[in-house]
Amino acid sequence: MAIGERLRRARLDAGKTLDQVASETKIQLWILEAIERDDFSRVPGGVFIRGYLTALARAVGVNPSEILAAYSPETVPLPVPPPPASPPPDPNEVTGSPLWQYVVIVAMVLGSVMLWRNMTRANHDVAAARTPPPPVSAPPASVPPPPPLPASASPPTESNATATTGATSPAAVAEPHDGAHAAATSAPLIVQLHANGEVWIEADADGERKVYQLFEQGQELRLEGQKEIRLLVGDAAAVSYTINGKPGRPLGGTGVVRQFVVSPANVESLTEPVPRTDG
Protein backbone atom coordinates (compact mmCIF):
# COMPACT_ATOMS: atom_id res chain seq x y z
CA MET A 1 0.00 0.00 0.00
CA ALA A 2 1.30 3.46 -0.87
CA ILE A 3 2.39 5.79 1.93
CA GLY A 4 -0.22 8.43 1.18
CA GLU A 5 -3.08 5.92 1.03
CA ARG A 6 -1.96 4.32 4.31
CA LEU A 7 -1.87 7.68 6.07
CA ARG A 8 -5.24 8.68 4.62
CA ARG A 9 -6.91 5.46 5.88
CA ALA A 10 -5.31 5.90 9.29
CA ARG A 11 -6.68 9.46 9.45
CA LEU A 12 -10.17 8.27 8.52
CA ASP A 13 -9.97 5.47 11.11
CA ALA A 14 -8.99 8.07 13.70
CA GLY A 15 -12.04 10.15 12.73
CA LYS A 16 -10.05 13.27 11.89
CA THR A 17 -10.37 15.71 9.01
CA LEU A 18 -7.50 17.26 7.08
CA ASP A 19 -8.22 20.60 8.73
CA GLN A 20 -7.88 19.03 12.19
CA VAL A 21 -4.59 17.36 11.25
CA ALA A 22 -3.30 20.61 9.75
CA SER A 23 -4.17 22.43 12.99
CA GLU A 24 -2.40 19.81 15.13
CA THR A 25 0.76 19.46 13.03
CA LYS A 26 1.04 23.08 11.82
CA ILE A 27 1.47 21.70 8.29
CA GLN A 28 -0.22 23.56 5.48
CA LEU A 29 -3.36 21.93 4.08
CA TRP A 30 -2.11 21.66 0.48
CA ILE A 31 0.99 19.75 1.64
CA LEU A 32 -1.20 17.21 3.51
CA GLU A 33 -3.37 16.76 0.42
CA ALA A 34 -0.29 16.19 -1.78
CA ILE A 35 1.10 13.57 0.66
CA GLU A 36 -2.19 11.63 0.74
CA ARG A 37 -2.21 11.63 -3.09
CA ASP A 38 1.44 10.41 -3.07
CA ASP A 39 2.30 13.53 -5.09
CA PHE A 40 5.69 14.19 -3.45
CA SER A 41 6.77 16.38 -6.36
CA ARG A 42 4.84 19.26 -4.74
CA VAL A 43 6.31 18.71 -1.26
CA PRO A 44 9.63 20.39 -0.29
CA GLY A 45 12.33 17.75 -0.46
CA GLY A 46 15.13 16.63 1.83
CA VAL A 47 14.57 16.73 5.58
CA PHE A 48 11.20 18.46 5.12
CA ILE A 49 9.53 15.32 3.73
CA ARG A 50 10.78 13.26 6.68
CA GLY A 51 9.54 15.92 9.10
CA TYR A 52 6.13 16.10 7.43
CA LEU A 53 5.74 12.30 7.39
CA THR A 54 6.82 12.01 11.04
CA ALA A 55 4.38 14.66 12.24
CA LEU A 56 1.52 13.33 10.11
CA ALA A 57 2.07 9.72 11.24
CA ARG A 58 1.99 10.74 14.92
CA ALA A 59 -1.19 12.73 14.39
CA VAL A 60 -3.08 9.77 12.86
CA GLY A 61 -1.66 7.10 15.21
CA VAL A 62 0.86 5.38 12.92
CA ASN A 63 4.43 4.49 13.88
CA PRO A 64 6.64 7.10 12.15
CA SER A 65 9.50 4.60 11.76
CA GLU A 66 7.35 2.37 9.56
CA ILE A 67 6.34 5.27 7.35
CA LEU A 68 9.93 6.50 6.98
CA ALA A 69 11.15 2.97 6.22
CA ALA A 70 8.48 2.63 3.53
CA TYR A 71 9.39 6.02 2.07
CA SER A 72 13.17 5.47 1.93
CA PRO A 73 13.18 3.14 -1.14
CA GLU A 74 11.19 5.73 -3.07
CA THR A 75 13.84 8.39 -2.54
CA VAL A 76 16.72 6.31 -3.95
CA PRO A 77 17.49 7.68 -7.45
CA LEU A 78 17.30 5.21 -10.29
CA PRO A 79 20.65 4.27 -11.88
CA VAL A 80 21.44 6.19 -15.03
CA PRO A 81 21.92 3.83 -17.99
CA PRO A 82 25.29 4.17 -19.73
CA PRO A 83 25.23 6.00 -23.07
CA PRO A 84 25.11 3.73 -26.12
CA ALA A 85 28.49 2.99 -27.61
CA SER A 86 29.15 4.67 -30.92
CA PRO A 87 29.70 2.25 -33.83
CA PRO A 88 33.29 1.84 -35.01
CA PRO A 89 34.27 3.87 -38.06
CA ASP A 90 34.00 2.19 -41.41
CA PRO A 91 37.50 1.85 -42.91
CA ASN A 92 36.01 1.93 -46.43
CA GLU A 93 34.26 5.28 -45.83
CA VAL A 94 36.05 8.30 -47.26
CA THR A 95 36.26 10.96 -44.54
CA GLY A 96 38.46 13.51 -46.33
CA SER A 97 37.03 16.54 -48.07
CA PRO A 98 37.14 16.73 -51.87
CA LEU A 99 40.13 18.50 -53.37
CA TRP A 100 38.03 21.12 -55.15
CA GLN A 101 36.84 22.49 -51.80
CA TYR A 102 40.42 23.30 -50.78
CA VAL A 103 41.01 24.97 -54.14
CA VAL A 104 37.96 27.20 -53.69
CA ILE A 105 39.00 28.18 -50.15
CA VAL A 106 42.55 29.12 -51.25
CA ALA A 107 41.19 31.17 -54.17
CA MET A 108 38.81 33.07 -51.87
CA VAL A 109 41.65 33.90 -49.47
CA LEU A 110 43.94 35.14 -52.25
CA GLY A 111 41.15 37.24 -53.74
CA SER A 112 40.41 38.86 -50.38
CA VAL A 113 44.09 39.74 -49.89
CA MET A 114 44.37 41.32 -53.35
CA LEU A 115 41.18 43.33 -52.86
CA TRP A 116 42.37 44.63 -49.49
CA ARG A 117 45.74 45.72 -50.93
CA ASN A 118 44.09 47.57 -53.86
CA MET A 119 41.65 49.36 -51.53
CA THR A 120 44.47 50.39 -49.16
CA ARG A 121 46.58 51.80 -52.02
CA ALA A 122 43.62 53.74 -53.50
CA ASN A 123 42.77 55.28 -50.12
CA HIS A 124 46.41 56.37 -49.66
CA ASP A 125 46.47 58.07 -53.10
CA VAL A 126 43.21 59.90 -52.44
CA ALA A 127 44.42 61.13 -49.04
CA ALA A 128 47.67 62.42 -50.59
CA ALA A 129 45.74 64.29 -53.33
CA ARG A 130 43.42 65.97 -50.84
CA THR A 131 46.22 67.23 -48.54
CA PRO A 132 46.39 71.07 -48.96
CA PRO A 133 49.79 72.82 -49.33
CA PRO A 134 51.19 74.46 -46.23
CA PRO A 135 50.11 78.14 -45.83
CA VAL A 136 52.62 80.91 -46.54
CA SER A 137 53.54 82.67 -43.34
CA ALA A 138 52.91 86.43 -43.40
CA PRO A 139 55.21 88.93 -41.69
CA PRO A 140 54.10 89.75 -38.17
CA ALA A 141 52.02 92.89 -37.95
CA SER A 142 53.08 95.60 -35.55
CA VAL A 143 51.02 95.67 -32.41
CA PRO A 144 49.96 99.21 -31.42
CA PRO A 145 50.79 100.23 -27.83
CA PRO A 146 47.89 100.29 -25.39
CA PRO A 147 46.19 103.66 -24.91
CA PRO A 148 47.11 105.55 -21.72
CA LEU A 149 44.70 105.37 -18.82
CA PRO A 150 42.54 108.45 -18.24
CA ALA A 151 43.61 110.75 -15.44
CA SER A 152 40.32 110.31 -13.60
CA ALA A 153 40.75 106.54 -13.29
CA SER A 154 41.99 105.46 -9.91
CA PRO A 155 42.30 102.06 -8.18
CA PRO A 156 39.39 100.94 -6.01
CA THR A 157 39.47 102.31 -2.51
CA GLU A 158 39.81 100.20 0.59
CA SER A 159 36.26 101.10 1.64
CA ASN A 160 34.85 99.58 -1.56
CA ALA A 161 36.75 96.34 -0.99
CA THR A 162 35.46 96.17 2.57
CA ALA A 163 31.89 96.76 1.47
CA THR A 164 32.14 94.03 -1.16
CA THR A 165 33.50 91.66 1.42
CA GLY A 166 30.81 92.60 3.87
CA ALA A 167 28.05 92.03 1.28
CA THR A 168 28.97 88.39 1.08
CA SER A 169 26.71 86.43 3.45
CA PRO A 170 27.73 83.09 4.99
CA ALA A 171 26.17 79.92 3.52
CA ALA A 172 23.12 78.66 5.34
CA VAL A 173 23.62 75.44 7.27
CA ALA A 174 21.41 72.67 5.82
CA GLU A 175 19.03 71.03 8.23
CA PRO A 176 19.31 67.22 8.55
CA HIS A 177 16.76 65.26 6.51
CA ASP A 178 13.99 63.63 8.48
CA GLY A 179 14.33 60.35 6.56
CA ALA A 180 18.08 60.09 7.26
CA HIS A 181 17.47 60.84 10.96
CA ALA A 182 14.84 58.12 11.14
CA ALA A 183 17.11 55.61 9.40
CA ALA A 184 19.95 56.37 11.83
CA THR A 185 17.77 55.86 14.92
CA SER A 186 15.81 52.81 13.78
CA ALA A 187 17.27 49.72 15.43
CA PRO A 188 17.66 46.60 13.20
CA LEU A 189 16.19 43.20 13.95
CA ILE A 190 18.84 40.76 15.16
CA VAL A 191 17.84 37.07 15.39
CA GLN A 192 20.36 34.57 16.79
CA LEU A 193 19.52 30.85 16.31
CA HIS A 194 21.18 27.81 17.92
CA ALA A 195 20.71 24.28 16.58
CA ASN A 196 20.10 21.82 19.44
CA GLY A 197 20.00 18.96 16.91
CA GLU A 198 19.94 18.29 13.18
CA VAL A 199 17.43 20.75 11.70
CA TRP A 200 16.60 22.32 8.33
CA ILE A 201 16.40 26.15 8.34
CA GLU A 202 15.26 28.61 5.66
CA ALA A 203 15.60 32.36 6.28
CA ASP A 204 14.90 35.59 4.35
CA ALA A 205 15.79 39.09 5.60
CA ASP A 206 13.94 42.04 4.01
CA GLY A 207 13.03 39.88 1.01
CA GLU A 208 16.57 38.56 0.41
CA ARG A 209 17.37 34.83 0.81
CA LYS A 210 20.02 34.41 3.53
CA VAL A 211 20.16 30.65 4.25
CA TYR A 212 18.65 27.42 2.86
CA GLN A 213 20.45 24.43 4.37
CA LEU A 214 20.60 21.65 6.97
CA PHE A 215 22.23 22.65 10.31
CA GLU A 216 24.09 20.19 12.53
CA GLN A 217 23.89 20.19 16.33
CA GLY A 218 25.80 23.10 17.86
CA GLN A 219 25.78 25.32 14.76
CA GLU A 220 24.57 28.91 15.13
CA LEU A 221 23.08 31.47 12.75
CA ARG A 222 22.88 35.27 13.05
CA LEU A 223 20.39 37.24 10.94
CA GLU A 224 19.89 41.02 10.67
CA GLY A 225 17.07 42.97 9.03
CA GLN A 226 15.33 46.32 9.09
CA LYS A 227 11.69 45.43 8.25
CA GLU A 228 11.16 41.68 8.70
CA ILE A 229 12.92 38.31 8.94
CA ARG A 230 11.05 35.21 7.66
CA LEU A 231 12.00 31.80 9.09
CA LEU A 232 11.04 28.20 8.34
CA VAL A 233 12.27 25.55 10.81
CA GLY A 234 12.01 21.83 9.99
CA ASP A 235 11.98 20.69 13.66
CA ALA A 236 10.67 23.27 16.14
CA ALA A 237 12.10 21.49 19.20
CA ALA A 238 15.64 21.45 17.74
CA VAL A 239 16.05 25.25 17.67
CA SER A 240 16.48 27.89 20.38
CA TYR A 241 16.73 31.58 19.50
CA THR A 242 16.92 35.17 20.72
CA ILE A 243 15.50 38.37 19.20
CA ASN A 244 17.46 41.54 19.93
CA GLY A 245 19.06 39.74 22.89
CA LYS A 246 15.76 38.52 24.39
CA PRO A 247 15.15 34.75 24.60
CA GLY A 248 12.41 33.54 22.23
CA ARG A 249 9.35 31.53 23.17
CA PRO A 250 9.32 27.78 22.33
CA LEU A 251 8.33 27.12 18.71
CA GLY A 252 6.72 23.69 19.17
CA GLY A 253 7.28 20.00 19.76
CA THR A 254 9.60 17.49 18.16
CA GLY A 255 9.05 17.02 14.42
CA VAL A 256 6.80 20.08 14.09
CA VAL A 257 7.54 22.28 11.07
CA ARG A 258 7.21 25.95 12.07
CA GLN A 259 7.11 28.99 9.80
CA PHE A 260 6.96 32.50 11.29
CA VAL A 261 7.85 36.16 10.64
CA VAL A 262 9.82 38.47 12.96
CA SER A 263 9.08 42.20 12.66
CA PRO A 264 9.38 45.20 14.99
CA ALA A 265 5.63 44.93 15.66
CA ASN A 266 5.68 41.35 17.02
CA VAL A 267 9.03 41.13 18.84
CA GLU A 268 7.32 41.26 22.25
CA SER A 269 4.88 38.45 21.36
CA LEU A 270 7.73 36.16 20.19
CA THR A 271 10.06 36.71 23.17
CA GLU A 272 9.83 35.76 26.82
CA PRO A 273 8.65 38.58 29.12
CA VAL A 274 11.33 40.25 31.19
CA PRO A 275 10.77 39.42 34.92
CA ARG A 276 9.86 42.43 37.01
CA THR A 277 11.88 43.30 40.08
CA ASP A 278 10.01 44.97 42.93
CA GLY A 279 12.10 47.85 44.27
pLDDT (tens, 9 = 90+) of the chain, 279 residues, equals 788 898 899 899 989 999 999 898 898 999 989 888 988 888 877 668 888 888 888 988 888 888 888 876 444 344 445 555 665 655 555 455 568 788 889 889 888 888 888 777 766 665 655 655 555 554 445 545 555 544 443 444 333 333 333 433 333 333 334 443 333 345 589 999 999 999 999 999 999 999 999 999 999 999 999 999 999 999 989 999 999 999 999 998 898 899 989 999 998 899 998 776 665
- The single-letter code of the amino acid at 175 is E
Specify the 3-state DSSP secondary structure of 116.
helix
271 DSSP assignment: B
H and E: helices and strands count for the chain: 9, 8
Distance (Å, whole) CA 219 – CA 194:
6
- The DSSP output letter for 7 is H
Residues 6+ apart with CB under 8 A from 38: 2, 3, 4, 5
CA distances (Å), origin 6, targets 16, 53, 57: 14, 12, 10
Cα–Cα distances (Å) from 166 to 149, 156, 159, 161, in that order, read 30, 16, 10, 9
Q: 54, 60, 99, 90: which is closest to 72 by C-alpha?
A: 54
Instruction: Give the Cβ contact number of residue 267 at 10 Å.
Output: 15
